[in-house]
Amino acid sequence: MSTFKKNANSAAAAVSLSRRNLLVGSTGAIASVGLMGLAPLSIAAEEPKSALPDYASWKDENAVIVHSANTLETRRDAIGSGVVTPSNHLYVRNNLPAPGNEIVADPDAWELRIEGVNTPATLTLAELKKIGIESVTAVLQCSGNGRQFFTHGPGGTQWGVGAAGCVVWTGVPLRDVVAKLGGVKDGMEYITGTGGETLPAGLDPKTIMVERSIPTRALDQAILAWELNDEALPLTHGGPLRLVIPGYYGVNNVKYVKQVAFTESQTDAKIQASGYRIRDVGVKGAPDQPSMWEMPVKSWVTTPLEKAGSGRNMIHGVAFGGNNPLDKVEVSIDGGSNWLEARLLGPDMGRFAWRPFVLAIDLAPGEYRIVSRASDSEGNAQPQERTENERGYGNASWSDHGLSLTVS
C-alpha cells in the first residue's frame, strides 16, 4: 500500500500546482481533490524561500522557511537556546487565507459569541478583558510537524522539526468566562471553537471552515488570548482573539475566534469529522478515529547542524512534556546505543512549556548520529519510531528527529 501511494504521489505532484494555488491552505479542499504527497522538490520550485506573505511580512526571513503563503516553518537552527520563541521566528499554519488587517484595527471591538452555557452571550474583547487574565507559556505545534520523515508520502506541508514554538499567551481563562455566564449546560461534552475567516465562495462551508471540537476536560487550561509574547496578538497568529488550548496541537487553537460553543457532539465540519484523524495509511478519515488533541512528550536536537569542529561541542535542543511536566532529556551521539543525560536550561515555565537543553561533549573527528529522547513526569518516554499514519501526524520519533553530524 505504501509503495503504491508513493508512486501515485509522484505523478500527482506534477499536476498539482494550479490546484494548490486555487485552494492553498485548505486541508479539506486539498484532500478532496486527492493531492496527497507533494514531493518537497515541487514545493520548493513553487515557493521561493524569501517570499514572505503580506500578512506575515514582519517575520524574520532568515529564521523561517516559506513553504507556502499559509505555511511558514521555523528553521531548526533558528530555534535558539532560550525558553521563548520570538514572535518573528514562530511558525505559521493557516487552514484558510488570513482575514484582512481591519479585524485587528480595533481589537477591543471584536465580538465573541458563547453558546452552550446557561446564559449565552455575545461579549466584546473589551468585556472579556474585565473578566479575568492569566499568562501561560506553552508549546504551539502543528499536528503535521515532522511529516517530512514519513516515507509513504503523506500530503500536506512537508514540515521538518520547526512547525513548533514555545510562546507566552495572555488572556482570560475560558473557565472564568463560563463561570460568569452561569456555567456549562448539562450534557455538553465538547468545546467547539469557530474561526472568523471569510469563507471562499462556491464551496460547501462545512468542507473548509475552521471549526474544531475538543473535550471539555480542556476547560481546565483553555484561554481566550489577546497577547502573544507580551504584544497585542497579531493577525498572523489569530489576532485579535484566539482560543488557546495549552498542551493541544495547533489546529485546536482557533484563530480570530468568533464563537465558542459547548456542545453535546463534535462539529461535523470536515476539519474535525475526517480531518486531523489518526488512521492507517490508505484509510479515509472518519469520526471514530483518534483526533489530534493532546500532544505527547517530544524533543529534538537543534544544533550543531551537519558539520562541527573536533573537541568540545555543545549539543542543543528543545524538549517538552506535552500535557505533563518534562522529566528529563537524554542525548545519544551514536544513534541511540548509548545515552547521556542533558542539562535543562533556564527557568521552568510550567508544564506546557518547552525547556531548552544542552549537552557539552568532546567529539573526535568522525561521523555521528545525534538523537535526543525526552520523558515526562508520568514515565512516558518519546518513542524510537513514529506511528505510521495516513496523514503523517503526531510524529514524536526520536530516531526521525535526530541529526547526522560530521566532525572534522
* Angle made by CA atoms 265, 270, 271, in degrees to the nearest 5: 90
Would you count residue 291 as binding a second copy (CB under 8 A)? no
Pick the closest to residue 104 from 40, 159, 58 (CA basis): 58
Please give the order of strands across the beta sheet that includes 92-93.
64-68, 71-74, 92-93
Give me the helices (H) in 93-223, please: 125-129, 174-180, 205-208
Would you count residue 179 as binding a second copy (CB under 8 A)? no
| Separation of alpha carbons 82 and 210, rounded Å | 32
Pick the closest to residue 321 from 278, 276, 378, 386 (CA basis): 378
Closer by beta carbon to a second copy, 165 or else 285: 165
Would you count residue 34 as binding a second copy (CB under 8 A)? no
HSE-CB at 157 with a 13 A cutoff on CA atoms is 29
Would you count residue 130 as binding a second copy (CB under 8 A)? yes
Q: Which residue stretch of 8-16, 45-53, 222-230, 280-288 sits at the interface with a second copy (rule: CB under 8 A)?
A: 222-230
Please state the closest distance from residue 233 (CB atom) to a second copy, in A.
11
Closer by beta carbon to a second copy, 87 or else 395: 87
Would you count residue 313 as binding a second copy (CB under 8 A)? yes
| Separation of alpha carbons 269 and 267, rounded Å | 5
From 31, 43, 104, 168, residue interacting with a second copy (rule: CB under 8 A): 168
* Count, residues near a second copy per rule CB under 8 A: 39
Would you count residue 346 as binding a second copy (CB under 8 A)? yes
Please state the closest distance from residue 151 (CB atom) to a second copy, in A.
33
| Separation of alpha carbons 398 and 374, rounded Å | 8
Would you count residue 136 as binding a second copy (CB under 8 A)? yes
- For a second copy, what does the binding mask look like between residues 355 and 394, x meaning CB under 8 A? -x-x-x----------------------------------
Please state the closest distance from residue 347 (CB atom) to a second copy, in A.
5
Q: Do 396 and 385 contact (CB within 8 A), yes or no? A: no
Q: How many helices (H) and strands (E) does the chain have?
A: 8, 22
Would you count residue 227 as binding a second copy (CB under 8 A)? yes
Q: Do 229 and 87 contact (CB within 8 A), yes or no? A: yes
Residues in contact with a second copy by the rule CB under 8 A: 80-87, 89, 129-137, 168, 170, 227, 229-231, 311-314, 316, 345-350, 353, 356, 358, 360
